[in-house]
């Protein structure tokens, strides 16, 4: 009975001495069909991951870190926020950037029709010698600019 199962791989030889493969004369190969499905699912996974990044899941700020003679300047692309949405800190030798925004849309009766919350987080390692008490952050046109002066010893 087990010899009738078509997907069970058997090694038999034909009269000409070549190996016989069950269903080898089908117009399509089962392994080729499996490969096509693998490629299809891989492509779908790439497209869905790109969509997730576009929607904010796993989204990362575009960062530019520039070291100047007397300071380190970090520019972070963060469109869609207001200046008050940011929390900028220097903790344990890292610059920590957080942004949080809540948006409510109400209908004409004042009922909440839509509620959306957007949060972003980024952390950047800093070199020693940053004066963490004099950090200055400014937000303009979708770009957060953080200027961190160096201490006198590190200049």
| Per-residue pLDDT tens over the stretch 82-110 | 999 999 999 888 999 999 888 888 888 88
Predicted pLDDT of residue 55: 46
Q: Is the CB of residue 126 less than 8 Å from the CB of residue 95?
A: yes
For 9, list phi and psi in degrees, rounded to 5. Answer: -75, 120
| Per-residue pLDDT tens over the stretch 25-52 | 555 667 777 778 878 877 776 666 555 5
Predicted pLDDT of residue 34: 77
Domain ranges in the chain are 18-59, 62-154
- CATH number listed for the domain at residues 62-154: 2.60.40.790
> How far apart are the two ends of the chain, measured CA to CA in Å?
84
Position 54 confidence tier, pLDDT thresholds 50, 70, 90: very low
């Amino acid at each position: 009975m087990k010899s009738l199962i078509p997907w069970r791989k058997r090694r038999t030889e034909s009269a000409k001495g070549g190996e016989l493969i069950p269903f080898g004369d089908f117009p399509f190969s089962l392994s080729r069909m499996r490969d096509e499905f693998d490629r299809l699912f891989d492509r779908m996974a790439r497209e869905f991951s790109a969509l997730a990044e576009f929607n904010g899941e796993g989204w990362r700020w575009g960062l530019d870190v520039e070291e100047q003679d007397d300071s380190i300047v970090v520019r972070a692309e963060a469109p869609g926020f207001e200046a008050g949405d940011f929390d900028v800190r220097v903790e344990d030798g890292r610059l920590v950037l957080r942004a949080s925004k809540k948006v409510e849309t109400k209908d004409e009766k004042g009922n909440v029709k839509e509620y959306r919350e957007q949060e972003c987080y980024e952390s950047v390692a800093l070199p020693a010698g940053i004066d963490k008490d004099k950090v200055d952050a400014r937000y303009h046109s979708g770009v957060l600019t953080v200027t961190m002066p160096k201490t006198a010893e590190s200049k």
